[in-house]
Structure 1
Amino acid sequence: MKCPECDYDNKHEGKYCLNCGFTFLGDGDTPQDSNSLFYEFATYVDMVPKYARSVEPKFQNIFSRVFRKHSELEAERLFVVGTALTTPKLEEVKETWPKPWLFARVFLIALIAFIGLYVGVSIFKNINFIPGLIIVGAFAVPISTLIFFWEMNAPQNIAIYRIIYVVFIGGILSMLVALLFFNILRNNINPITIGIVEELAKALIVIFFVRTRKYRYILNGLLLGAAVGAGFAAFETAGYSLRALLSGSFPGLYSTILMRSFLAPGGHVAWAALTGAAFCRVQGNKTFELNMLFKPRFIRVFALVVLMHALWDTPIPGMFPVGQIFLMLVSWIVVFLMIKRGLKEIANKKVQLSSLPLKPTS
């Protein structure tokens, strides 16, 4: 049934649109209240992955849904995937470019919260707002970027609770591992060693989370890597913001949050995502082996990430933030190439699956 509100072609005979939540009314029907709509929606949970999104196989259309109107039901539907009951079968997975939009809404919500906290601190002079200001300011952009990777994970096989777990546990573990390495190299700290230490720390934690064959897709590696990177970036920004505040400079606090937030998508989040994707590409359906870390396909991406991190931290007079913006663009070019490769991987697996002989039924 085609929805008259959003033109989405629903593949079921229910009473509402799975895309926008519009209620289909038949003869003698009356509009449903929100509770009945929710329970009817729940009965179709297992259908969500199959009809989750309408996509076009064109990269230029990827952000076409950002400025469209979306219902709350549509937002909720994006989070009911990844469980044992709501993970789609491989043949149901779309291998064409998704159209993410929720990441922009998450950023807008975080921005509104940050502005409110800023008003509380700057206008009302209430110091109780400062912790919230730092926390929201530190997490807003990394989490929004992470939601983008969540929406791009076409297999839809990772639950949102798992992502939250990886953000916090993966973020803090990667920072602790980095501190351990820095302590070992405390007499030899420079942009190159910083790049190696921090990217190696994140890589070890990312690999710890994606080493199981459950997360065998390149897009899974991108998502879980981005989760570790988001945690690392947010905790680091919170620390630098607190340092600026303790120096007695409120302008320094605000400039630290704003500048690091602006640069966050092209830094730790993207770099860790690329590391995770490169490892999943190497591992595939195989059991984890240590020699996978020395495969050229992984080493090339990891070396690129380390190089970009080292260049990012290299103090070149007159180049900040132009150099960082250029590196952001490079990072995201590689990210989109990896997404394209991940979607192609799904297409190839679907072809292989369709070519397998059918099992005889008894």
Structure 2
Amino acid sequence: MKLRPPWLRVFVVGFVLWVASVVVTAWTSNSNLVPTVVLLGSFLVPVTFVVWAYAHGRSRDVTVERMFVAFIVGGVLGVLGASLLESWLVRPSVVMYVLVGLIEEAVKLAALIFVARRAARDKVRDGVVLGATVGFGFASFESAGYAFNALFTTHGLSLTQLVETEVLRGILTPVGHGLWTAIAGGVLFGARGRLTLPVLLTYLGVSLLHALWDSMSAIAIAITLVLTGRPWQFAELRIGMVPDVSPWQVHVYTVLHWAGLVLNSLIALVWLAVILARGRRRDVSYQ
């Protein structure tokens, strides 16, 4: 059967190549193939969504060349800027996740402004597409780093952990960086590229979604302890010990963790849908 949508062809071909790379690497134990596995697995889902976004949002200003620049240049500038700022500003604390959210959404927004500086910046859909492209570029390079780090364990190189990391991040990628920067990009282009109050409030909003996403595991642990914790567990926590947990508490934590991620994603998706709907009405009124 012929696969007509370009994004589907990209995904299927890329997925087959990635699986083949994993199988051959495992079969031959050839470490030279590890970069191939890392890059294919990290870029597959983000590139697929960029191809999909281009097919549904192409315009005079959203060209293949501009999207390529947004993905590569915007993504690299984003991860470099985030790495520098986080190394200077972020320390383990209760506000760590908030700082990470503020920093990473700021550098992605700055990267979007840079790569779109010669675009018209007057159509909301263009901002959504280019913003998503910058976000997916950021996600690709960040995922490659996580996958590379997962390779190294106390027992040597672990292809299994590398693959598990790439699969999990691939599944979650569509509702992460690309979605958050798409929201910010749509509002930015709706303001014709100016840093207006709605743009700044949107930046703070997506930064909050980002922070909640990153901290969802800690939030789920805290809620699980509040709901099911035993006095001896709290006593051990007070003296700095990590208490044992029951299977029931593990199940409660898992449900709360994934429920939080789903709720976070739904909020962002609805927000983006509202931005696109308002953008369509705005563009029609200008015609």
Per the alignment, residue 245 of structure 2 pairs with: none
Q: 1:341 aligns with which of 253, 278, 283?
A: 278
The aligned counterpart of 1:313 is 214
Distance of 2:63 and 2:119 partners within structure 1 = 16
Q: How big is the shift at 1:196?
A: 0.5
**Rounded Cα–Cα distance in structure 1 between residues aligned with 2:58 and 2:275:** 13
Equivalent of 2:7, from 89, 98, 103? 103
TM-score, reference length from structure 2 = 0.79
On the 8 A contact 2:61/2:119 being kept in 1, the answer is: no
- Please tell me the residue identity of whatever aligns with 2:45: V
Q: Percent identity?
A: 27
In the alignment, is residue 113 of structure 1 matched against residue 22 of structure 2? no
Question: What stretches of structure 1 of length at least 5 have no aligned partner?
Answer: 1-67, 72-100, 351-362
Q: Deviations over 1:235-281 (max 9, x none)?
A: 01000110011223222111110111100011001111111111111
Q: Which has the higher contact order (CA 8 A, sep 6+)?
A: 2
TM-score (norm 1): 0.63
Aligned-partner SS, 1:215: coil
**Within the alignment, does 1:204 sit opposite 2:94 as a pair?**
no
Matches within 5 A, 1:129-278: 129-153=33-57, 155-187=59-91, 190-247=96-153, 248-278=157-187
> Contact 1:154/1:343 (CA < 8 Å) preserved in 2?
no
The reply to whether residue 327 of structure 1 matches residue 283 of structure 2 is no
Deviations 1:118-154 (A, max 9, x none): 1112234333322111101000111111222212215
Q: Mind listing any 5+ residue stretches in structure 2 that lack a counterpart?
A: 222-252
Q: In structure 1, what residue type is equivalent to 2:149?
A: R
Inter-partner Cα distance in structure 1 for 2:212 and 2:185 = 21
Query: 1: CA distance between counterparts of 2:119 and 2:150?
Result: 43
Taking only aligned residues, the RMSD between alpha carbons, in angstroms, comes to 2.1
1:24-77 Cα offsets, whole Å, 9 max, x none, are xxxxxxxxxxxxxxxxxxxxxxxxxxxxxxxxxxxxxxxxxxxx9565xxxxxx
Paired letter, 2:271:
V
In 1, Cα distance between equivalents of 2:32 and 2:91: 39
Tell whether the 8 Å contact from 1:263 to 1:325 is kept in structure 2 after alignment. Answer: no
Q: Deviations over 1:286-316 (max 9, x none)?
A: xx6xxx32x2321232222011101011123
Q: Secondary structure at the match of 2:191?
A: helix
* Contact 1:265/1:328 (8 A) holds in 2: no
Counterpart CA distance in 2 for 1:178 and 1:127 is 29
State the Cα distance separating 1:116 from its structure 2 match.
1.1
CA contact 1:142–1:264 (8 Å) conserved in 2: yes
